[in-house]
Amino acid sequence: MDYRLDDIDRRILYELMANARDTSAPTIAEKVNVSPGTIRNRIAQLEENGIITGYRAEVDFESADGRLTNLYTCTVPVAERESLSQDARVVPGVINVRELMTGRENLHVLAVGEDTEDLRRISRALSKLGIEIEDENLVESETSVPYAQFGPEEARSRYEPTDFISLTGDANVVDVTVQEGAPIVGQTLAGAVDDGTLDEDTLVIAIERGDRVMTPHGSTTVQSDDIVTLLSRGGGTDETLTAFVDNQTRVE
């Protein structure tokens, strides 16, 4: 990528991620201490370079006619991952497809149905495409927050998960960036479970490190700045996340 982000670009991205609908160029300009014209020009450049890919509304589908949101955890052949991901996007009801660079459970499909029969229709459609559904769960809620490292200094010292999905049965899936002084840094996953740093009900299902996404094992060592995807089966998200935050910067 030729385009290099500077501090103004990062602050623009942070503010747009926080609330794109209610954040105007003059509002961002006031926070970043530049002119509204500069903000408009920078947003245009970010769009042209494919860094801002769109603006989406967050919808509570349960409130919208009581519709159901379902997360399908799927496995596809690695060589066909991209093409099957594109095929899955056109299945009626599918609203999001995430590709993971792993051998199994490497495709996550989020879909909305009118009822359980409609969700079964989506399951059949995915299966006909050659997509193996490993698991599926009804999504209770989903919350996104802006990337703190793009925000003002006070935001960078505050610990927040970067993405969060609540599943039925008290299970949660959360993405978190490992802070430098976190208790788990330098530990293997097996060692962290053995000494109680990581709860036994918490499963690390992916680690993004630089431009790689790894399938973790017990011998995998966690490093600072890793983006870790966790499945918390007991629902105790706050307690789980303490392993990944520097206690000196954590805000109660």
160: pLDDT confidence band, cut at 50, 70 and 90?
low
Query: Could you give the C-alpha distances from 135 to 106, 125, 167, 203, 217, in angstroms and in order?
Result: 12, 15, 12, 15, 20
By the 8 A CB rule, do 36 and 25 touch? yes
Distance set, CA 193 to CA 37, 115, 219, 235 (Å): 52, 39, 11, 17
Are 169 and 234 in the same domain?
yes
Mean pLDDT of 55-60: 85
- Nearest by Cα to 249 from 185, 182, 165: 182
Residue 153 domain-assigned? yes
Bridge partners of 188?
Answer: 221
The confidence score (pLDDT) of residue 210 equals 82
251: confidence class by pLDDT, cuts 50, 70, 90: very low
Last residue of a domain, one of 88, 114, 140: 140
pLDDT confidence tier of residue 169, bands split at 50, 70 and 90: low
Sheet holding 212-214, edge to edge: 94-99, 107-113, 68-75, 132-144, 163-167, 172-177, 227-232, 202-209, 212-214
The CATH number covering residue 28 comes to: 1.10.10.10
Q: At what angle do helices 36-48 and 25-32 cross, to 10 degrees?
A: 110
Same domain, 90 and 172: no
Residue 80, domain extent = 68-140
For residues 246-252, average pLDDT: 52
Which is nearest to 245 in space by CA: 225, 220, 217, 221?
225
User: What's the confidence (pLDDT) of residue 106?
Assistant: 94
Is 56 inside a domain boundary?
Answer: no
Q: Would you say residue 59 lies in a domain? A: no
- Grade residue 220 by pLDDT with cuts at 50, 70 and 90: very high
Q: How far apart are CA 61 and CA 66, in angstroms?
A: 7
Q: How many domains does the chain have?
A: 3
* 177-190: pLDDT as tens digits: 888 888 999 999 99
* Whole-structure pTM value: 0.59
Residue 149 maps to a domain: yes
User: What pLDDT sits at residue 252?
Assistant: 39
Flag whether pLDDT at 234 surpasses 80: no
Encode pLDDT of 112-125 as tens digits. Answer: 999 999 999 999 99
**% pLDDT > 90, the chain:** 48
Q: Does residue 167 carry a pLDDT above 70?
A: no
Contacts of 212 (CB under 8 A, 6+ apart): 101
79-113 pLDDT, tens digit each:
999 999 999 999 999 999 999 987 889 999 999 99
Flag whether 57 is in a domain.
Answer: no
Tell whether 154 and 89 lie within a shared domain.
no
Task: For residue 236, tell me if it sits in a domain.
Answer: yes
| H helical segments located in the chain | 7-19, 25-32, 36-48, 81-89, 116-128, 153-156, 189-194, 237-241
Q: Which of 100, 119, 140 is the last residue of a domain?
A: 140
